[in-house]
Amino acid sequence: MSDRQPAKTINNKIDEEHNAPIFSGSVLALAFISIFLGGVIYLLWRPVTIKIFYWLELFGLGTMITYIRVCCEPVYHYIPKWIIYSLPNGLWSFSYALIIAHLWIGRNSIMKYFWLTSIPIVGLGYEMLQYFQVIPGTFCIIDLLLCVFGILLGSYIAYSIKRCDGGIFTKVGVSK
């Protein structure tokens, strides 16, 4: 049996003695909204040749998605192309950067360097692999720029939340 005690909860945060990540509800909400919005853009206005439509068909959701797409099709012509084709990448990069940075900023672990480095590698690497035609897809400089913006914004917000919560400068549960 383990001699580790369950983590003490102080102000809805887990204490540092157990080295458990402190996860803010606002981070989860922002990350979820970002991923959800990117997914909605994909489902409503991206070409049906993308693999996700095949998966949705397997789960019996193809007819419903087709109906929703037909209803939203008139709006398609008024939406700038960069929103349809580039914004989802920026939103997902934002979400990934927000979650990873929030979990690892201020932690004393060698693993934090791996995870923090993964943010630009995952975000920018995907687009660069398309540029060099290693993976299928179309390289787009706007995708790359929105990815960089998403990474910077997500990291900045994660750092700001940690700073405001005292996650970097004070011990958990100690009032300012």
pLDDT in tens, 23-58: 678 899 999 999 999 999 999 999 999 889 999 999
176: pLDDT strictly greater than 90:
no
Encode 20-70 in three state secondary structure. CCCCCHHHHHHHHHHHHHHHHHHHHHCCCCCHHHHHHHHCCCHHHHHHHHH
Name the residue with higher pLDDT: 6 or 57: 57
Please tell me the predicted confidence (pLDDT) of residue 82: 97
Please tell me the predicted confidence (pLDDT) of residue 17: 53
